[in-house]
Structure 1
């Protein structure tokens, strides 16, 4: 029989089996964030022309390890913890098949270690995309496959836990919106993992010599069903964290449950189509397919994000106005707890993800505009605006709340925690901006030396490109320091944090319902959120202006006479 403890801070009934799995997945995620972050600093110091730290071989090794550990390993381990939290704990039920959860954890850990070993051995510097005909060592692909199978097992545990909660009627009505968002991430994850299996398993046999050839165009098309769709898992999970933090801190409810759930549904149906922007220049894809994916279908995915971008801050504004912060358009925003790292990380994630990741993502997803920045440094600049200052910052904010609750310990460095989201968010946000600026000037995405010092044919970039690369390197180091402070705080809190009052164990979950807006169904009782609508208009204005500037830039490239 499952055992539960009651959290004295929140009243959550925590299944002890789920508790252990959440902790192990979260801790492992933070460890790989540290490893991937260190490789990221090496990459930043190499692409900074004045420093140019590593030689070519070590640069591509570090770049491969950085992409693997931060884009896949850190984020998906943390998402496994979120899946178990949003199913078992929020729904007041036992975790289904904890043994399968440990299979998930073991496969993912072993897979991540195997692939990291393959990269560090120096024979698998194929970067995150691992495009054929570049060939990595067989155990590079084997590790990724094991990792993906483990993640699939975690999704099975999550869906099974939802079934148990529904069967045992541990909640009333629809599942909470936060759990619904996590379910969206899990559904996209199943598609993503299957796409990866379709292409990585044959590539594994190719590396062993059992298959003679892998078609390069086919590889790219199918691989991006894994590579980019994995980031759509992150977006859904990140927005689920937004709703959870708004509910936890302010008791905020979405402006409309139905609208928010519909936006998540748009993600399931259309968000993976954003993968198309990576193959818009590929000759093997028809113009009809490209036009459909970059117009009608893409707009529905964008609509989902814009709905979340309105309803999340709108829910916070509605909740704070109920508390009496009604003077003017923005008293609610001025009086928000900006010194709380949970709120600061959440707020910066919402703003930076929208302005840096969202606007640029739509621009990149437009077939005509894509050509001016395709395969330039603009692309990693964009996904640093999504995966880093969007997803990673949201997960950091969630961790600042989740770690003290699960471990029942106080933060060791609360003063540093107040500044950490700003240091990390602004550092990586500026790095994203400068990388996109350099990409707009034509700096290539993957080349280790923009000066082409050893090349027979030299291309001269404008002086501004060197300035952008230098500023990106400085900003990356600042963001790396911010990430290091987060890791220091999490590890120190887990190991040395001052213990809170221990929670007793019980044989059964308490009968009383769990309080908290994170587990409740319903919409905010007011739609009077003028501040949010003004901010939305600012965002829309920036969106239109940036879109126009890029069309003007395209027109200047294709001059007519």
Structure 2
């Protein structure tokens, strides 16, 4: 006999919440935040080593920390939180039961196991291949096993999300089209399936190569397929955090897009074009044709960027419209001045929008130009760009929605509310300055991944070549 699903009514929002969905949202979100803290610690170690005055870690530990930081922040933290968002955008927003909760726990267990195995092998010191793990660098076989297990768990979560949409439609828990926030989560889910498929195509053969069952992996083929996963995983973030922007605009202001059809079409440009725009990571590869590179980094990228520009204008626009309906009509910007800047939900979201749009978006398009890319690709400009997108954009948006989810899901008020008001400004402005100066240093030629950014070891007498007489 199948147990009848248990629901409760949220005292803050009035939403009907399925208890199994709530448990899975909580555990995935909390795990994500723990991973963010761990990955952030590794990032601090990397920064203190790159700082010439401190130069904290020796070379081997630096690359260990860099590998762990990249995997935990760019992949594990984001995807755990996005799984929580998918469950929220389906079961909670549609006021439906979650499809197959038991499989949700299987997915969670696989993701935790996979992330744990990969981190374990990195910390052992024999898998410091960085997040990209380019061949012919070879990690421990279990490093790849961990990534594959994590990907399988995330894929199961995607299908649970899709199943929940089917359940909600069949049980008529909503009318008409799915809400825009859920549509954004659906976009993220579709991109995630593509991303995980790309990862499977390349990581499974790489695992077989690491155990000696395959003799050779072509480096160019590896890079092309890997970036189908690596770049697209960040587009999951983009689709998800823009859904968060729309959600916060609706929650705080009752705002609706001026044209929801346009916003949905903007999401579709991500599905159609963002993946092919990943070629900007491959512009210096001699094995790819110029026609391929130019198409991907011009027409393909511009169409994807068009979607982000639409969202970047629509979200503030719908907030402005909602504020003006409330009477904030004096001058051009009273609606913005009178926004709840002391509420971390709003300040985190709006700073995320500004930093992602101006720092992340503009720098990404700049890097996509082939001539500029050749000069800056192996410089610190590149991590400056993705810190502006993933940290200042995605992470800050996820922090903002967390301030809403804590009272809704845990039924508790925030502790230290004064500090919570300051946190988005501290993190957002700090990360914005950090990203901007990394990009500035990159234009001056500072290397991207080298342990010693000053290359001081090349000036030691034992390593200096004798000058010709």
Quickly name the TM-score band, shorter chain normalised: over 0.9
> Which of 42, 45, 52 does residue 42 from structure 1 map onto?
45
Give the Cα separation in 2 of the matches to 1:418 and 1:38.
Answer: 23
- Following superposition, which runs of at least 4 residues in structure 1 exceed 3 angstroms of deviation? none
- Match status 1:382 vs 2:385: yes
Q: Could you say what secondary structure the match of 1:131 adopts?
A: coil
Q: Could you say what secondary structure the match of 1:409 adopts?
A: coil
The superposition leaves residues 468-493 of structure 1 with CA deviations (integer Å, 9 ceiling, x where unpaired) of xxxxxxxxxxxxxxxxxxxxxxxxxx
- Match status 1:129 vs 2:122: no
Which residue matches 1:15? 18
User: Offset of 1:277 from its aligned partner?
Assistant: 0.7
Q: 1:72 to 1:170 in 2, by over 3 A?
A: same
Structure 1 segment 269-348 matched on structure 2, within 5 A: 269-348=272-351
Which residue matches 1:239? 242
Give the Cα separation in 2 of the matches to 1:404 and 1:11.
Answer: 13
Whether the aligned pair in 1 keeps the contact of 2:379 and 2:445 (CA below 8 Å) is yes
Give the Cα separation in 1 of the matches to 2:203 and 2:250.
Answer: 40
Structure 1, unaligned runs of 5 or more: 459-561
> Which of 5, 8, 27 does residue 2 from structure 1 map onto?
5
Q: How many residues are matched?
A: 458
The superposition leaves residues 22-80 of structure 1 with CA deviations (integer Å, 9 ceiling, x where unpaired) of 00000100110110000010111111111111110010000001011111111100000
Give the Cα separation in 2 of the matches to 1:211 and 1:450.
Answer: 36
CA RMSD of aligned residues (A): 1.0
- Match status 1:120 vs 2:123: yes
Structure 1 segment 540-551 matched on structure 2, within 5 A: none
Give the Cα separation in 2 of the matches to 1:41 and 1:324.
Answer: 46
User: Offset of 1:265 from its aligned partner?
Assistant: 0.5
Q: Could you say what secondary structure the match of 1:125 adopts?
A: coil
Structure 1 segment 244-283 matched on structure 2, within 5 A: 244-283=247-286
Which residue matches 1:171? 174
The superposition leaves residues 432-453 of structure 1 with CA deviations (integer Å, 9 ceiling, x where unpaired) of 0111011111111100112212
Whether the aligned pair in 1 keeps the contact of 2:104 and 2:156 (CA below 8 Å) is yes
- Match status 1:102 vs 2:112: no
Whether the aligned pair in 1 keeps the contact of 2:277 and 2:300 (CA below 8 Å) is no
> Which of 411, 432, 435 does residue 432 from structure 1 map onto?
435
> Which of 61, 72, 75 does residue 72 from structure 1 map onto?
75
Q: Could you say what secondary structure the match of 1:454 adopts?
A: helix
> Which of 47, 58, 82 does residue 61 from structure 2 map onto?
58
Whether the aligned pair in 1 keeps the contact of 2:198 and 2:226 (CA below 8 Å) is yes
Which residue matches 1:228? 231
Whether the aligned pair in 1 keeps the contact of 2:379 and 2:447 (CA below 8 Å) is yes
Which residue matches 2:197? 194
Q: Could you say what secondary structure the match of 1:371 adopts?
A: helix
Give the Cα separation in 2 of the matches to 1:54 and 1:274.
Answer: 35
Whether the aligned pair in 1 keeps the contact of 2:360 and 2:389 (CA below 8 Å) is yes
Q: Could you say what secondary structure the match of 2:456 adopts?
A: coil
Q: Which has the higher contact order (CA 8 A, sep 6+)?
A: 1
Which residue matches 1:395? 398
- Match status 1:407 vs 2:426: no
Q: Could you say what secondary structure the match of 2:11 adopts?
A: coil
Give the Cα separation in 1 of the matches to 2:35 and 2:132.
Answer: 19
The superposition leaves residues 269-307 of structure 1 with CA deviations (integer Å, 9 ceiling, x where unpaired) of 001122111101101111111111111121110110000
Q: Could you say what secondary structure the match of 1:5 adopts?
A: strand
Give the Cα separation in 2 of the matches to 1:208 and 1:334.
Answer: 60
Give the Cα separation in 2 of the matches to 1:49 and 1:395.
Answer: 32
> Which of 412, 420, 426 does residue 423 from structure 1 map onto?
426
The superposition leaves residues 489-547 of structure 1 with CA deviations (integer Å, 9 ceiling, x where unpaired) of xxxxxxxxxxxxxxxxxxxxxxxxxxxxxxxxxxxxxxxxxxxxxxxxxxxxxxxxxxx
User: Offset of 1:365 from its aligned partner?
Assistant: 1.3
The two structures have a TM-score, normalised by structure 2, of 0.97
- Match status 1:349 vs 2:352: yes
Give the Cα separation in 1 of the matches to 2:354 and 2:276.
Answer: 24
Structure 2, unaligned runs of 5 or more: 462-469
